[in-house]
Amino acid sequence: MSFTRADFDQYMVPNYSPAAFVPVRGEGSRVWDQEGREYIDFGGGIAVNSLGHCHPALVKALTEQGNKLWHLSNVFTNEPALALAKKLIEHTFAERVFFCNSGAEANEAALKLARRASIEQFGENKHKVLAALNSFHGRTFFTVCVGGQSKYSDGFGPRPAGIEHFEYNNLDSLKALIDDDTACVIVEPIQGEGGVTPATQAFLQGVRELCDQHNAILIFDEVQSGNGRSGSLYAYQDFGVTPDILSTAKGLGGGFPVGAMLTTEKLAKHLAVGTHGTTYGGNPLACAVAGAVLDVITDPAVLAGVKAKAERIRSRLLAISAKYPVFQEVRGMGLLIGAELNDRYKGRARDVLALATQEGAMILMAGPDVLRFAPSLVMPDADIDEGLNRFEKAIAKLVA
């Protein structure tokens, strides 16, 4: 039985507005729809398909685990979860890991841990959460309220207390808010949904120092910036600034739903038995796939390739903009790249997405003015070049 885009409107809650075509198959950085039409994928499922579609190592891991053990619940532990936790600890600052299913859940766990640890150590008043304006930390009610974009949190009733917002990359703005009642500061090393804006070195260093001064816990949300996307396993490693808690998801499973909160032994002890939980977190299928993802992306050659491919895309986007002046700025870090439309084309990112689709290229938005590229970390150079040829045709149509 074949379904169409019209069936979405008949069966699904209308909180999404998907494209007119329906993808049915993917391989590497290419996707085919029901009509057999091919697209080159620069979106990666919003920075999720870190190794493209149907990567052989991931298919193998999923198939092998699928023939062994699917689910247990956390009344028991399992080998793939332990193996994945060990790998994450070996490659990061972390000493303890909590598994969940998504970035929102990883941030929910991070924020709950930060508040609980702060309250248990310093008393009930130490509960304040500070986050950046224009940030994005997930879609649970707590995380949308922490995320500094009111369009996602308005209309759902009273918000949780104790959340305040500072300007991203503005240390003075944070200094004006942080005090001894601050439990934690949560920040993205690269704001993804907020327009693909990297933090400055001085800003992240200053945030770390302010947290230390006020006994506040520093959380890095690396849901979008992590898992090799910056050219290091996690972007904090590029900056040389270490958080107390890190949230990760998206690219960790390469397309299979999985998230994790990484932290220190000292903080982890505050989530004692029964204080937090999840039904599916640490699922053997998810952890087996994520383990295979980590094995590939921690290869130094893959991480070096990320930086080379990022430069290939950025230089071509700048060349396109020199020919058709549409971009105000091309920015980002590694293979998380934002091309901001200039004043003449402001608000038209969605139009560009539609034109690109017509030409057989899949890209993303990060707000109405920014085009976002978050492709596979192992995207072949030939696909990059062909995809950007198609993208250039879309830009030529926009200008015309």
Other CB atoms within 10 Å distance of the CB of residue 2: 7
Q: Pick the catalytic residue: 221, 238, 244, 383?
A: 221
Gap between the Cα atoms of 124 and 115, Å rounded:
9
Query: Is 8 an active-site residue?
Result: no
Gap between the Cα atoms of 234 and 189, Å rounded:
9
Instruction: With CA atoms as reference, report the closest residue to 387 among 366, 371, 369, 368.
Output: 371
Gap between the Cα atoms of 90 and 84, Å rounded:
10
Structure token digits, residue 181 = 């009642």
Q: Are 235 and 272 in contact (CB under 8 A)?
A: no
Q: Pick the catalytic residue: 42, 98, 99, 136?
A: 136
Q: Are 376 and 50 in contact (CB under 8 A)?
A: yes
Q: Are 107 and 286 in contact (CB under 8 A)?
A: no
Positive/negative CA dihedral, 262, 168, 101, 380: negative
Buried b (16+ CB within 10 A) or exposed e, 317-336: beebbeebebbbbbbbbbbb
Other CB atoms within 10 Å distance of the CB of residue 133: 16
Measured in residues, the chain has a length of 400
Instruction: With CA atoms as reference, report the closest residue to 36 among 24, 18, 19, 52.
Output: 24
Other CB atoms within 10 Å distance of the CB of residue 6: 9
Helix (H) or strand (E) holding 205: helix 201-213
Q: Pick the catalytic residue: 87, 126, 128, 250?
A: 250
Query: Is 250 an active-site residue?
Result: yes
Buried b (16+ CB within 10 A) or exposed e, 201-234: eebbebbbebbeebebbbbbbbbbbbbbbbbbbb
Structure token digits, residue 61 = 């891991």
Query: Is 136 an active-site residue?
Result: yes
Catalytic residues: 136, 221, 250
